[in-house]
A and B are shown apart, each in its own frame.
Chain A
Amino acid sequence: MSIFSRRAKSIEEQTEGDIFNKETEGLTQGQIVRKRFIRHRGAMVSLIVLVSLILFVFSTLGFKIFGFGFNGWWKYKIIDIPALRTDGCSVALPGCPTLDIIPGKNFGFGDHPFGQDDLGRDYFALVMRGAERSIEVTVVIGMVAGVIGTVVGSIAGFYRGWVDAILMRINDFIITIPTIIVASVIGFHFGNKGVLFLAVFVGFFIWGGLSRLVRGEFLTLREREFVDAARVAGASNRRIIFKHILPNAIGIIVVSVTLLMSGAILLEAALSYLGFGVVAPDVSLGLLISQYQDSFTTRPWLFWYPGLIIIIIALCINFIGDGLRDAFDPRQRRRISHKDRAAERNPTAKKK
């Protein structure tokens, strides 16, 4: 590249392009995405926090699936009713939390880190069970809606014609009923059949936005040269969809499913709050807030902890979604720092 062409363009931009290209040289798509994701500080921190939170939550009470499982490390179950703690609490309000994050005499979890409710049940156990439920519901809704949305969007976008017309009309029907309305109707009637049933059913009704995005992506991708090349080479439709188009659309799918899940956890909380979601004796974070919102002035801990857990989970998912979007976006360019510019202007300095 001659010095003149560099002068002719904006120097700034030229340098940025060079740095950018040098970074991605010789890397596969997956490697580039991973590299960009790791560089997104907020997303990485969120991922670590979320994974540790999930491990923490699910190991607290333990679980059993098909006779296989383990007991949690926490001493209380949600059905235990220990005596209300009185020492260290004000007389009128027994059962106050023992969690102390300031190093000192009482540092640590204590007997009831999140306090006790009015009956004496350990609130830490309740919140952990609620968090388990919320995470399960979120994941199931995300998976169901993700699979349906992707399949419908891919088929509609790939085959077009009458298949597309029919699928997109069904999509319109689903998208025009506000989510909270259809979810409330489902939750009201099926909430007692168990939380997973509810989640699957809600998942059936909130894939509308995702399938539109996927369809749009497929409509563009199917006209590209590499698809023509594959078809000329004799590839079947199935092979074209799974081997050629889907890998190129995976970014948009992953990002929207992530954002859909952050919406799903708030949706579950809202439904349980309205009384149309998880119902007692099962526990969920939204249900806990709804049950104890009136005790905010007297026993604030009953209100704070479930809300904080919801916020942490939703916040982490949102940040991860943002990081993924940046990572998958080919136009995305990292901020070029002064250090990078200096290194570019003086390449020898970097080599030594």
Chain B
Amino acid sequence: MLAYIGRRLGAMIVILFGSSFLLYNLAAYSGDPTEGLRTSTDPKAHQQLLSLIRTLHLNVPPPARFFIWFKGIIGGFTGNFDLGMTRDANPVSTYITNAIPVTIRLVLLSTILAILFGIGFGIVSALRQYSRFDYALTFFAFLLYSLPIFWVAVLLKAYLAISFNNFLLNGSIAPLWIISASAISGFFWAAVISGTRQRVLAIFGIAGSATAIFLELLSLNKWFTHPGLGPIMMLALGLGFALGVTYLSTGLGNKAALRSSLTVIVLGFILYFPVEYLLKKYGSLSTLFEMLLVTIAIAWAVGFGYAKIDRRPVIRTSILTSLFAALLFVIDKLMKSWVPYVNTDAVHQRPIPTIGQANDLLPSGNFWFTFLDTVLHLVLPTVALLLISMAGYIRYSRGTMLEVLNQDYIRTARAKGLSERTVIMRHAFRNTLIPITTIIVVDFAGVLGGAIITERVFGWRGMGTQFNNALNNQDLNLLMAVQLVTSSMVILANLVADLLYSALDPRIRVVGKK
């Protein structure tokens, strides 16, 4: 195993060498960084030209100059990693280390959401193969697949940001919107659950009217201008989630799992005020992380206590439930900060921003303000990226699930008399996840490359912006640094995918030597 990883890492350096060499020469031969200074009539220009040639080694021809650059990369093994200098004689590494976290923040949330929604929709679509829902979802996925992100971005800015901000000034929903939202929700749930005609009509009615009543209540209570969850709402949501996750994960027949997940939610409800106080007093990322660990530990203990035999599924269920409860606490806290946040001078009643990665005018020091600000700046890019990368996951997980459902072991499982839930969730779903894992890893690397466009559209200052600047200013070292990071991500992602595949699928083994 270690030998295999070592060999792959060795191959990675060779590949990085090759691809960098290719791009370096392509970029170096097709543009001249000194052009502006050569034609300049400024008396200082000659001096600047000489210093530019000295810092960037421009007197060396590109193929040889590449080796000067590559020596700096190889230096990483002896501890003096060097990415070279930019045109204005600053080290490239400072630019890149500032840019990488921004890009990761941009794409991480949307990737996670795209995976969750994509796999969920894909699998439901496969289970309802050739139904209207399936056809509609297939069309929808292809449509998303064909959208240019910069085009979607403009629409989102206009409708999701500007119009929604306008709506928030008042906060009451027009009847037409309520009717259409309920109709959509009715169609959606009727198609997902499906069944006989009578049942479909009943589901349509129930889901539609529930949505209408819910929206009307929110609208009447001015919930959109004064959002909040509160302990009772959180208890209701938490209990609903606990039931749902227990049903999917172990089935409601498993009393230990049901009891432990419900206990976790009730514990959360009892501890509402202490936790609330802790969050308010010690708000910081590290505290949040510690509290998350404590939550998981408590959930583990609860699951361990309830289950006498077969503990793993019970503990898994209660931990999943506790994660949701933790998320509810964070959302509740963010919603509490909403009204003061919206009324600050920096935000000025327009909470959803159309551009940028953070509001620089916001007073610093308040953790929850900064957190909410970050989340709100993520809304538009996340929705845009989510829509576009979800399509691939829908198609892929649908295809994989259909393939798995045709396998002999599924028929065996059904023949044994297992319930349909067990067949789907334990036998089919898990096997579907194996090939999807590899796609996810490779896709994430691709999204990092695509950040060039996303960052431009939404005005973020990450790797993509550095790349654009580098290209426009003929800044070769900066350009190569971006390429190096994204290419390494692609190669590492492939390695991780292969390792994951062999870890998940016992039939496939990585070989130490050929």
Contact = CB atoms under 8 A, between A and B. Distances in A.
A181 B452 contact: yes
B277 interface: no
A276 interface: yes
Interface string B6-32: 000000001110110111001100110
A207 interface: no
Interface stretch (B51-59, B150-158, B211-219, B248-256): B150-158
Interface in B137-158: 138-139, 142-143, 145-151, 154, 158
B452 A274 contact: yes
Contact of B23 (A181, A266, A297): A181
A184 B18 contact: no
A307 B490 contact: no
B471 A185 contact: yes
A186 interface: yes
A173 B19 contact: yes
Given A262-B146, A311-B146, A176 B19 contact: yes
Interface stretch (B83-91, B105-113, B374-382, B481-489): B481-489
A293 interface: yes
B289 interface: no
B365 to A, nearest CB: 36
Contacts, number: 121
A190 interface: yes
A89 interface: no
Question: Among B14, B151, B452, B471, which residue has the most Cβ atoms of chain A within 10 A?
Answer: B151
Interface in A284-331: 286, 289-290, 293, 296-297, 303, 307, 310-311, 314-315, 318-319, 322
A42 B486 CA distance: 37
A176 B150 contact: no
Given A293-B154, A297-B158, A190 B30 contact: yes
A188 interface: yes
Contacts of B490: 175-176, 178
A273 B130 CA distance: 38
B18 A274 contact: no
B139 A42 contact: yes
B121 interface: no
Question: Among B154, B446, B483, B487, which residue has the most Cβ atoms of chain A within 10 A?
Answer: B154
A181 B467 contact: yes
Nearest to A311: B146
Interface in A167-222: 169-170, 172-182, 184-186, 188-190
Contacts of B453: 180, 270, 273-274
A272 B491 CA distance: 28
Contacts of A270: 148-150, 453
Contacts of A174: 19, 22
Interface residues of B, number: 44
Contacts of A274: 452-453, 456, 468
Nearest to B17: A173
B468 A335 contact: no
A177 B471 contact: no
B142 A173 contact: no
B487 A177 contact: yes
B446 A178 contact: yes
Interface residues of A, number: 43
A185 B20 CA distance: 13
A293 to B, nearest CB: 5
Contact of A180 (B23, B31, B449): B449
A269 interface: yes
A172 B490 CA distance: 11
B150 A185 contact: no
Contacts of A318: 142, 145-146
A176 B15 contact: yes
B313 interface: no
A176 B488 CA distance: 8
A179 B139 contact: no
B450 interface: yes
B15 A286 contact: no
A175 to B, nearest CB: 8
A294 B23 CA distance: 34
Nearest to B16: A176
B237 to A, nearest CB: 37
A262 B486 CA distance: 23
Contacts of B146: 262, 266, 310-311, 314-315, 318
Contact of B148 (A181, A269, A297): A269
B471 A180 contact: no
Interface in B431-488: 446, 448-450, 452-453, 456, 467-468, 471-472, 479, 482-483, 486-487
Contacts of A315: 142-143, 146
A172 B487 CA distance: 11
B151 A289 contact: yes
B142 A177 contact: no
A315 B31 CA distance: 37
Given A178-B487, A269-B148, A296 B154 contact: yes
A322 B142 contact: yes
Contacts of A175: 490
Interface in A266-282: 266, 269-270, 273-274, 276
B471 A188 contact: yes
Contact of A184 (B143, B448, B471): B471
A179 B450 CA distance: 9
A335 B128 CA distance: 13
Given A173-B21, A262-B146, 12 more contacts: A173-B18, A177-B23, A178-B446, A178-B450, A178-B490, A180-B450, A182-B26, A185-B26, A185-B27, A185-B30, A189-B30, A262-B145
18 contacts: A42-B138, A172-B15, A175-B490, A176-B15, A177-B19, A178-B483, A180-B453, A181-B23, A181-B483, A184-B471, A185-B26, A188-B471, A188-B472, A189-B31, A274-B453, A286-B148, A310-B148, A310-B151
